[in-house]
Amino acid sequence: MTARDLPVRFADIEDAARRAGDNVVETPLIATPALSRRLGLDLRLKLENLQITQSFKARGAFNKLSRLSAEERARGVIALSAGNHAQGVAWHAEALGIPATIVMPRHTPFTKVSRTEALGANVELVGDTLNDANDFVARLIEERGLTLVHPYDDPLIIAGQGTVGLEMARQCDCLDCVVVPIGGGGLIAGTAIALRQAWPEVEIVGVQSALFPAMRDALAGRPGQYQGATLAEGIAVKSPGKITREIIAELVDDILIVDEDMIEGAIHLLATEQKLVIEGAGAAGLAAIQAFTDRFAGRRVGTVLCGGNIDPRVLSSILMRGLARAGQLVCLLIEIDDSPGNLARVSGVIGEAGGNIVEVQHRRLMLDLPVKRIDLEVIIESKDSRHVERIVKALEQHGYSAQIQTTIGT
């Protein structure tokens, strides 16, 4: 099969780009000198977190909605989504004057529901999962004549997402390899078509979460059961697209799998080193590059940071865990005599060793301690793990037993 035989052509992507105009942001492709040195390659990041609604999904949504007839616009559209697709459809539907119904599972976080409603869509909460809501969506389509805006398995959606690759080809002379997250496959399918036109020899690599490797399994003819809580919920797709599968089989060279800890590490690295807020799905490409550094070493590599809609509480937890792993935020369990002045002396030892006390908790009711002894849980800021070891040694030299705790109860 040639590119001309695929259900989406390069000309379709060019047309989507012309049609988009100012309705879609041309996001930057940035160089990363420090991160590149750290990883041993020339890394470029495509910042789709700066797209409208902070996700590439707005591209395909506009391309689909802008092609509707006047009659279809009047009847309205419907989408089944609990995340970025919902917001992309809602945003452009309101701008184009199209009534939009977004169906979400009942357990969808309130912030996502309220954000989608604030963009002008009517939200229906149905079932416990997206699959549970399929019948409801089908019934509304039949009853109201609504047009389905599929999140990935639609040629117009794929062509819209392909404008990511079109921009990358304009923004860079050439890359040896481009790494793209895969959920349903719309982004990598469209991007692959655009990049193969510009750079025929480029290697295109997809990335999936270890909990949801549905596209990789589908291409291998393996059925799979997919479940579990993943940081990369944006690519947690159980049933990849048929159209996208056809394109990926033809144009994508490989699909890599990353674990949750790899994704978490990539989110943390992007936040701390690049000052970028990226969701789990968006960080999957960097997670793969970090996990398989030998595969990419010395090459010019680009990856698409496909979205930035991460829950602030999740981001906060990841940042705190990262500080703990680096030894920059540590909980020490220190046993002392329950006598006046001891707490002040412990604080003095830690301060003299260069540690900064963040929080202190007394544990007087521990039954395994003598009544005149107490445990202190002291959370401290430090430079790194070796600095923590020096603080512990200083405490021991002053007669205090100190243990480093593996968890931080903040």
Categorize the per-residue pLDDT at 176 as very low, low, confident or very high, splitting at 50, 70 and 90.
Answer: very high
What's the fold here for domain 3-56+155-321? Rossmann fold (3.40.50)
For the chain, what are the domain ranges?
3-56+155-321, 57-148, 327-404
Report the interhelical angle of 312-325 vs 260-273 (nearest 10°).
90
Query: Is the separation of the CB atoms in 329 and 387 below 8 Å?
Result: no
The residue ranking higher by pLDDT, 374 or 149, is: 149
In this structure, are residues 339 and 315 in contact, taking their beta carbons and an 8 Å threshold? no
- Look at 386 and 8; give whichever has higher pLDDT: 8
Q: Is residue 356's pLDDT more than 70?
A: yes
Residue type, 313: R
Q: What is the pLDDT of residues 217-263, one digit of tens each?
A: 999 999 888 988 899 999 999 988 999 999 999 999 999 999 999 99
Rounded CA gap, 129 and 131, in Å?
Answer: 5
> Considering the chain, what is the average pLDDT of its residues?
91
Lowest mean pLDDT among 57-61, 105-109, 180-184: 105-109
- Mean pLDDT for the stretch of residues 154-167: 98
Q: 57-148 sits in which CATH class? A: alpha beta
Distance, CA of 181 to CA of 289 (rounded, Å)? 12
Kindly report, residue by residue over 97-128, the tens digit of the pLDDT: 999 999 988 877 787 888 899 999 999 999 87
Q: Do domains 57-148 and 327-404 have the same CATH topology?
A: no
Which pLDDT score is estimated for 407?
56
In the predicted structure, residue 365 carries a pLDDT above the cut 60: no
- Would the pLDDT of 371 be above 70? no
**Full-model pTM:** 0.88
Cβ partners under 8 Å of residue 22, min gap 6: none
- Give the CATH H-level superfamily of domain 327-404: ACT domain (3.30.70.260)
Greater pLDDT, 410 or 322: 322
335 or 86: which leads in pLDDT: 86
Residue 410 has pLDDT above 60, yes or no: no
Q: How many CB atoms lie within 10 A of CB 335?
A: 16
Report pLDDT for 288: 98
Q: What is the pLDDT of residue 3?
A: 53
pLDDT, tens digit, 9 for 90 and up, residues 290-312: 999 999 999 999 999 999 999 99
Helix (H, G, I), strand (E, B) or coil at 400: coil
